[in-house]
Structure 1
Amino acid sequence: MSTPALAAPIPSSTAAPSALAGTLTTYRVPLSIVALCLLPWLLPSQALAVNVLIYGVLAVGYNLLFGYTGMLSFGHAAFFGAGAYITGIAIGRFGIPWFAAVPLGVLCGGVLAFIIGMLSTRTRGIYFSMVTLALAQPIYYAALQASSWTGGENGLRGFTVESINLVGWKINFLDPVNKYYILLAFAALALWAVSRILNSPFGAAIEAIRENERRARTCGFDIELTKLLAFTLSGLICALAGTMTALHLAFVPLDLLHYQTSGMIVMMTLLGGARSFFGPFVGALVFLLMEDVFSLWTSHWQIIVGSIFVLFVLFLPKGIWGTFLAKVIR
């Protein structure tokens, strides 16, 4: 005699992971913001939490191009540094309020991304990567030579945002906790923008290009324009991370524009998981924790971090967060 009732629990058990995955996708922005709200209280210091927030936004912007569009760039330090320098110069040299200097820095970073994107997106594969690297390096040397504006090797100094007024409420921006949650508002804006992009027809277009560019062209997509827009949007978000760095440090080091920073962005994105929404923050957290720990042991901490990175690429190609989603949730 058959007992069909015993088979009833099977569909519900298999449906649970997919339902959870759907929930994480639908509410990825608020869930990410909630997780980031808890970060200062889970890490050893608020300063580390601020750095994770800033570099997480930087990796989120890069992931839009690399993870979702499939374009490996080695020049995104240019947009990161441009956003920081323009914000610092606007505040320190021209006395522009921070709330106007921030969008100015983002806009200039976006314009730079558009210009470099027009020249680099005409190429593919490793040629694209090398062109982005080659086009970003003149920005570094321009900042190095324009020492009267940028401070040269010593970096840009002489600007500090001590307090922020919100509807008549004065907030001490020098307090690490206040600083973190104010910068979190910028991170939330970046996450919302990326989520909207991914949920739009444009988001479907960039993922189609990543999967099969030739087929996407056959389907009628304007490949060149779509790549250029993706590159520009990615640069805008990276420039936003640069403005956050300027506000945080009240100092813009020249190293922000160096190609090593571009390499660090790639590592953070891959460690957390390219193509995953929250993965860049996980990658930034892991990278910065490794840097803090191993730099106490040796001045050659990059060798250890690089070796660990190679192991991640070989055995966890989806990154930490991407592997978690693949193995546990789905």
Structure 2
Amino acid sequence: MTAIVRRYLSLAAAVAGVLLLPLFLQSGSLASEVLIFAMAGLGCNLLLGYTGLLSFGQGIFFGVGSYAVGILLTRTGLPMPAALLAACVAGMVVAAVVGWLAIRQKGVYFVMLTLALAQMFYFIAYSVPEWTGGDNGLMDIPTPPLSVGGMVLLPNDSAWAYYTFVAILFILVFWGMQRIVASIFGRTLLAIRDNTARASALGYDVVHFKLAAFIISGAVTALAGALYAMMTNIAPLSSISYHMSEVILLITVLGGTGSLIASMLGAAFYVLVSDWLSGLWPRWLLLFGLLLMAVSLYMQGGLWGACRLAAMRLRPRSDSGAQAAGKEAP
């Protein structure tokens, strides 16, 4: 199967997932949450799965996107599309700063530095309540309709109407990320992930490539944070905490690194299982922790890796059955 065919199949799987979610879920908000965290997983996967950077700073970009769109929609008359674009730009700028500081370190030092920066941005947000709402969060964020020239294209006046808006943006982001990872730039990121020293010896500016990956990841994650704030009508302080970074990283690892469709699978698993377990027991995090242990022990390639392994194990049986049938045929 060629790379182009795999790319179209992956896009078709993403579109199918977007269309199937309303059939299996009764809550439009829950369905939107799946796609929003899948979008954040795409940004994290670009760093971890394609560049080999284990970053605990993704919550920074998620929170920056939430606060940026919240401030713009509540304090200015900026149209919603322009506010979302500004949130992406804010995520890019912050990601450029964070990446410039972090990528000069390697291994555990890189991880600890991104975690320290996440804590720093958390306390910055906590210290300026006149802009972020402090511990209470930035409240009363509206969900404006999508309109062009006074014509309303998407009203966003209900949970499922907003899901349609989020689904369109998710498919566009998914397609854009596909083009990025399939390009020469994406293949260079894979080379850097597999052997940084060799990529540098071949003449590639490793620092610039890693910084570019950080900037793209920051833009996508900030868009996810902005959409989440518009859905919940609040930008809480927790959106920029290190716990949000852990959630995004967990979604990426659960789904499987190095595959974009895996981010959607990991987000669906995390959001839906969390919602189900929270209705069973107040201490549902204990049960979720046991599930994570099982995934870590028996599905080290994530959920997507487990699906691929199951498909590979079934394929030889069907092939051998076809060969046996051919031998028996006269």
TM-score normalised by the chain length of structure 2 = 0.90
**What's the counterpart of residue 9 of structure 1?**
none
Alignment pair present for 1:224 and 2:169: no
* CA root-mean-square deviation: 1.7
Corresponding residue of 1:135: 117
The 10-residue stretch of structure 1 (87-96 or 307-316) with the greater mean CA deviation from structure 2 = 307-316
Q: Secondary structure at the match of 1:68?
A: helix
Q: Secondary structure at the match of 2:154?
A: strand
Q: Tell me which amino acid in the other structure corresponds to 1:210.
A: R
Aligned position for 1:110: 92
Q: In structure 1, what is the equivalent of residue 328 of structure 2?
A: none
Deviation at 1:28, TM superposition (A): 2.3
Which residue of 2 is the match for residue 244 of structure 1? 227
Q: Which residue among 177, 183, 201 is the counterpart of 1:194?
A: 177
Provide the rounded CA distance (Å) in 2 between the counterparts of 1:222 and 1:158. Answer: 45
Deviations 1:83-120 (A, max 9, x none): 11000100101221111110001100110000000000
Q: Does 1:58 align with 2:33?
A: no
Q: Which runs of 5+ in 2 are unaligned?
A: 316-330
- Decide whether the 8 Å contact of 2:29 with 2:231 is kept in 1: no
Q: C-alpha distance in 2, partners of 1:166/1:39?
A: 28
Single out whichever of 107-116 and 23-32 deviates more from structure 2.
23-32
SS in 2 for 1:297: coil
Alignment correspondent of 2:323: none
Question: Could you tell me which amino acid in structure 2 is paired with residue 102 of structure 1?
Answer: L
Is 2:167 aligned against 1:178? Answer: no
Aligned pairs for 1:1-330 (under 5 A) are 18=1, 23-166=5-148, 168-169=151-152, 171-328=154-311
Write out per-residue CA displacement over residues 175-196 of structure 1, whole angstroms, 9 at most, x where no aligned residue. Answer: 1111111111211221122111
> Please, which moves more after superposition, 34-43 or 57-66?
34-43
Contact 1:106–1:240 (Cα < 8 Å) also in 2: yes
Distance 1:29 1:133 in 2: 33
Cα offset for 1:164?
2.7
Partner Cα distance (1:111, 1:162) in 2: 25
Q: Distance in 2 between matches of 1:143 and 1:169?
A: 34
What amino acid maps onto 1:240 in structure 2?
L
How far apart, CA to CA, are the structure 1 residues paired with 2:20 and 2:148? Answer: 23
Q: Structure 1, residues 130-169: CA drift from partner, whole Å, max 9, x if none?
A: 1011012111111111111111111111331243324623
CA distances 1:284-323 after superposition (whole Å, capped 9, x unpaired): 1111122112212333222221221122122111111232
Report SS of the residue matched to 2:292: helix
Matches of 1:213 and 1:163, distance apart in 2:
46
C-alpha distance in structure 1 between counterparts of 2:8 and 2:195, whole Å? 26
Q: Do the aligned partners of 2:80 and 2:144 also contact (CA within 8 Å) in 1?
A: no
In 2, the alpha carbon distance for the partners of 1:299 and 1:147 equals: 31
8 A Cα contact 1:24 1:31, kept in partner: no
Question: Which stretch of structure 1 is more off in the superposition, 83-92 or 292-301?
Answer: 292-301
Evaluate the alpha carbon distance shift between residue 205 and residue 159 of structure 1 in structure 2; reply closer, same or farther with a 3 A threshold. same
Q: Is the deviation greater in 34-43 or in 219-228?
A: 34-43
Task: Give me the whole-angstrom Cα distance separating, in 2, the residues matched to 1:198 and 1:111.
Answer: 21
**Identity over aligned residues, as a percent?**
35
